Chain A
């Protein structure tokens, strides 16, 4: 760059200057402020400033009852809302030693996986858009609408459902649920080939993502990067495999690990995950046992005094819920170990030495949802 640009400016190539990818920016996917220190086009370092959407969820949880907390967890990582709910429900059920009916476990697993696919579809469409291929945005959203239609039919809303409650589900699934899910899987299997044609196989996309933003396995473990981003670096962290919950132990699916940990691998991990999720759903959708949609729970839930920890695999990584209870109907302290928080901490480390355009690609591949970082 230095040799080609000859602007009458004093030494702009040699000095470092700061650029603000401010809270409002098309590529930061939420309200995150990145103060990027650049030398020409190369990133020297990066400081994220979070807190623009800090709502004090953990403090609010100390005043809310456990069923009310479910509604707050929806709004953390809103793209994997069901999975967040699942974590709190599992924790409460484990603490109260409640056995939920099999039907509930099957439905929860299937809906979790549908949510995962929907989340990855949104990731894909915004990743394509960040790269410049604006058509990807519309294709991804068009297919995501099919899942949202299924959700609306059964649960009443498209994005934030609060469908799981401690002990079971808010209501039973719609009679057409199984038929619609099967139709969706058939439809999406064809469409995902289009995704590969449009973006994955594209030479420009591969040039921009291969070898960019490499995260080694030791760094992934040390920084706590989980989910598809961690697995791309070779860190085997799938909670569904290591600490199974729901009926994941009954479904046959692979945990795919990458080797290089660059942006392209992180991209491919999520594409593979969509396939694996579809496989899981196909295995479970016909076998939902009949039964109650909720176990018998008391009106007021009081967890016995003590500490409880529950881990689930959200779409972006490992979500941990830690509760310190003193026997009341609200937790004494509730902490959410959010996957995006740890994923953000690695952004500075892996983007040193790359260009601004790469920064956008890396951020897109790490797939942030900012409300989860700020809680």
Chain B
């Protein structure tokens, strides 16, 4: 399916998705509440068939926290990029997609560990790389650590 048709299809599924121009992949910003349902449809509908989540990233844009999903379909060979944003830096939460793409289980744990974004309904949300009693989330822009980070 080429990008124009795909764009119409996504906007049809989630009308208040925000399309971003001039990006490498077809990119939408999805409201957090609609993400899980959209993800389910993206995987289950046969003309979309996005079964391969090849990258799941968390980004700290200082005003908001963002989760970026890169999806691909192994049957139709089309790709898609979705972003979900949350303003809440203390308790920001996004729905998990690990019941749809199993690879998300570890990726979401990593995002929780390093950026502090919670994922609701995740089966085992705990820190992945750092110790259980670590305070703070290192990948955040406002993270300060005099011991471990050397500022030149």
- Contact flag (A, B; Cβ within 8 A): yes
A residues lining the B interface (CB < 8 Å): 50-51, 54, 56, 58-59, 63, 218-219, 221-224, 235-237, 242, 306-309, 311, 318, 320, 322, 324, 332-333, 335, 337, 341-342, 344-346, 349, 374
Within the complex, the shortest CB–CB distance from A47 to chain B, in Å, comes to 9
* A59-B54 in contact (CB<8A): no
The answer on a CB contact under 8 Å between B70 and A309 is yes
Chain A CB within 8 A of B74 CB: yes
User: Roughly how many angstroms separate A278 CA and B74 CA in the complex, as a whole number?
Assistant: 28
**Contact of A50 (CB < 8 Å), options: B24, B128, B148:** B128
Interface size on B, residues (CB 8 A): 33
Q: For window 84-108 of chain B, which residues contact chain A by CB distance below 8 Å?
A: 101-103, 105-107
Complex Cα spacing A58 to B149, Å? 13
Are B129 and A345 in contact, CB atoms less than 8 angstroms apart?
Answer: no
Listed by A's residue number, 17 A-B pairs whose Cβ atoms lie within 8 Å are A50-B128, A54-B130, A59-B139, A59-B149, A219-B102, A221-B74, A222-B102, A309-B24, A309-B70, A311-B54, A333-B139, A335-B57, A337-B55, A337-B70, A341-B107, A344-B106, A374-B129
B101→A342 contact, CB < 8 A: no
On whether the beta carbons of A322 and B23 are closer than 8 Å, the reply is no
Q: In the complex, what residues of B have CB within 8 A of residue A324's CB?
A: 59
| A50 partner residues in chain B, CB cutoff 8 A | 128-129
- Cβ 8 A contact of A224, one of B24, B53, B128: B53
Asked if residues A342 and B103 are in contact (CB atoms below 8 Å), the reply is yes
Query: Looking at the complex, which one of B24, B59, B102, B131 makes contact with A345 (CB distance below 8 Å)?
Result: B102
Tell me how far the C-beta of B52 lies from the nearest C-beta in chain A, rounded to whole angstroms.
Answer: 5
Of the candidates A219, A335, A342, the one whose C-beta lies within 8 Å of that of B106 is A342
Bound-state CA distance A318–B70 (Å) is 13
User: With A56-B138, A58-B139, A306-B23 in contact, is A224–B129 under 8 Å at CB?
Assistant: no
- Nearest CB in chain B: distance from A125 CB, A: 28
**Residue in B59, B70, B110 whose CB lies within 8 Å of A320:** B70
Q: How far is the CA of A342 from the CA of B107 in the complex (A)?
A: 8
Cβ-closest chain A residue relative to B25: A309
Partner of A222, one of B23, B60, B70, B101: B101
Q: Is B68 an interface residue (CB 8 A)?
A: yes
Question: Which single member of A51, A59, A224, A320 contacts B130 (CB below 8 Å)?
Answer: A51
